[in-house]
Amino acid sequence: MALRRLNVCVSFSWKMKYSTHSDPLGTKLKERQAQMMKKGLPVKKPIEGVKNVILVASGKGGVGKSTVAVNLALALSRHLPTQDVGLLDADIFGPSIPTMMNLSGNPSLTEKNLIKPLVNYNIKCMSMGFLVDNNAPVVWRGLMVMSAIEKLLRQVDWSPLDYLIIDMPPGTGDTQLSIAQNIPVAGAVVVTTPQEIALIDARKGALMFEKVGIPVLGLVNNMASYSCPNCGHHSHIFGATGAEKLGKEIGVDVLVDIPLDTSIMEAADGGYPIVISSASNNPLVQAYISLAEKVLSRLSAIKNEPSR
Amino acid sequence: MASENAQILPNVKRIFLVLSGKGGVGKSTVSTQLALTLQNCGFKVGLLDIDLCGPSIPRMLGLENSSVHQCAQGWVPVYTTPDQTLGVMSVGFLLANKDDPVVWRGPKKTAMIKQFLTDVYWQDLDYLIIDTPPGTSDEHISVMENLKSVRCDGAILVTTPQAVAVGDVRRELTFCRKTGLNVTGILENMCGYVCPHCSECTNIFSYGGGESLAEMGKVPFLGRIPIDPKLTKAMECGENFITSFNESVATQTFISIVKNFIIQQEENIDGSENQ
């Protein structure tokens, strides 16, 4: 009883503190509380020396985020040869970038004690895969993951970079929140395959970006169709029009359809991605270059939009 | 403390986890098909989906519009048939809108998984199959911690044949070793596609990676599942693939895994217990 009375008194005196002649009930208390709560959220701080951060994400696993991220980074670098492009593998548990970029080994430290990214094909890369043994699992709870992501963002010598492509892990959890809340992101590309099971998760991924205020630049419809190498018969193994329907539903365009082709997988597994291992007139290479052009065009449109 | 642990899955005879370091290799598809195969063999089965960010199981079983009810003993799982031989639990059933993303940090996920294991009224089950998300994070650590007091009979590792997938699954194998989880075996999914026009089989995602990993890791190789568009379609529409396409390679492989590795293992364990 005494405790309840004390709580009422405390609550009353708290309201009295904010009560004024013009606002006798202390309604501005709610604004004050909202201001105090906002202080708890992290402030977005840009990564030093990095101009634009682009996320390659999907709610779903195994749709080709890493393959798209690697080939997009290489296509951007090819399209803009005077600009610097970097690639961060934010998948702590299943890092694929070392295999795809044919990089391995322990990174060294610079004089300023920053981790030096490993470079191949003119792209600066960083991944958890460089810091742990090939067979060693990373069995970490969310807090450790947040800390690792923070280090991979800020304690790597990225500068100077015009574009940093971040290959995101599947899901909508700690990694996604840590990145969205801590750094300003220019835009996100959402990768999906045409099947409904993948679209459900891709939709969630896109809605998550909307919730955290990151513009979705567009969808990539990966593994869209398959041509039999023997007879040329065209089939839609994972479905046909799903990505287009999702795009219309959430008001986002499909930037490119990328076919399911063994050569993309072989190139990625071999550490010699298709954008650089095949001729530029190869339709698969053209698809990634088209994606790069559209991403740049969307980024430019967003920057030129009058702020709301 | 002992009485608290005794409440976790008291009437479940056998528990199997379906794991993969890699996303998108077919864990949910494999979990669902194994559960349906066991149900078809006459067992009472539970299927628990602990992929909180991407719960696929409700869709795969045509249960998207179902919701979970409460009884005095806890949450009642959603049953696929009136005879209640396959009960399913997923965060998908708890969302107000099925398109809502679940954007949770680790501690909230851990709490949810503990609830799935302690507060669901599974009743008597012969088998509980647990479908996991990719990786080795909060969900996996929570499940292992909560199942410490209960014997987990095995883990089925799913991979596709290509190197980037096998690399992640190799890590998952090490995770199983370190946590003392018995590995039932490795299953190679999306192994080959037969063109419907010329019947030529092409290994779109390479070939043999899973079998080599099983050999290297000295664990049983459970078999290969080809890319079957009928299976993909059945998953999209919530159709029972096992009963509708009994003659397909995929169904026969699942039946063989259930008979030779899951049920067989039970007989081996019972045999050794009786000695």
pLDDT of residue B88: 96
Confidence band for B1, pLDDT divided at 50, 70 and 90:
very low
For A17-171, where are the E strands, in sequence order? 50-57, 85-89, 118-120, 123-127, 161-167
pLDDT 10s digits, B233-246: 888 888 888 888 88
Choose between A12 and A125: higher pLDDT.
A125
Residue A209 CB burial class (10 angstroms; 0-12, 13-18, ≥19): buried
Mark the binding-site residues of B for ATP, compressed into ranges. 21-28
Confidence band for B6, pLDDT divided at 50, 70 and 90:
very low
Distance CA A89, CA A165 (A): 9
Q: Averaged over A293-306, what is the pLDDT?
A: 90
Confidence band for B269, pLDDT divided at 50, 70 and 90:
low
pLDDT of residue A241: 85
For residue B204, what are the contacts with CB-CB under 8 A and spacing of at least 6?
A226, A260, A262, A265, B190, B192, B193, B227
Is the pTM for the entire model greater than 0.90?
Answer: no
Q: Do B53 and A204 touch (CB under 8 A)?
A: yes
Average pLDDT, chain B: 87
Is pLDDT at A70 greater than 90 in this prediction? yes
Mutate to test the interface with A, among B33, B105, B203 (most CBs of A within 10 A): B105
Strand partners, B46: B87, B128
Q: Chain B closest CA to A157's CA: distance in Å?
A: 27
| A221-235, B28-42, B106-120, B138-152: which is most confident | B28-42
Mutate to test the interface with A, among B49, B140, B195, B213 (most CBs of A within 10 A): B195
Whose tokens are 């008001």? That residue is A251
pLDDT of residue B159: 94
Q: Measured between alpha carbons, how far is residue B197 from residues B43, B194, B245 in Å? A: 39, 9, 20
pLDDT 10s digits, A81-127: 999 999 999 998 889 999 999 999 889 999 999 999 999 999 999 99
* ipTM of the complex model: 0.82
Q: Are B165 and B25 in contact (CB under 8 A)?
A: yes
pLDDT 10s digits, A132-178: 887 788 888 888 888 999 999 999 999 899 999 999 998 888 888 88
B-chain residues within 8 Å CB-CB of A137? Answer: 21, 136, 171-172, 174-175, 178
Q: Which chain B residue is nearest to residue A212, measuring alpha carbons?
A: B103
A-chain residues within 8 Å CB-CB of B101? Answer: 59, 172, 204-205, 207-208, 211
Distance CA A53, CA A46 (A): 9
pLDDT of residue A284: 94
Is pLDDT at A14 greater than 60 in this prediction? no
B-chain residues within 8 Å CB-CB of A174? Answer: 105-106, 137-138
Q: Chain B closest CA to A160's CA: distance in Å?
A: 30
Q: Measured between alpha carbons, how far is residue B87 from residues B42, B115, B130, B256, B257 in Å? A: 14, 16, 12, 23, 21
Please state the φ and ψ torsions of residue A52, each to the nearest 5 degrees. Answer: -130, 130
Q: Averaged over A257-285, what is the pLDDT?
A: 92
Structure tokens at A24: 């006798």
Is pLDDT at B65 greater than 70 in this prediction? yes
A-chain residues within 8 Å CB-CB of B217? Answer: none
Q: Do B105 and A211 touch (CB under 8 A)?
A: no
Q: Do B23 and A170 touch (CB under 8 A)?
A: yes
* Among A135, A137, A229, beta carbon nearest to B136: A137
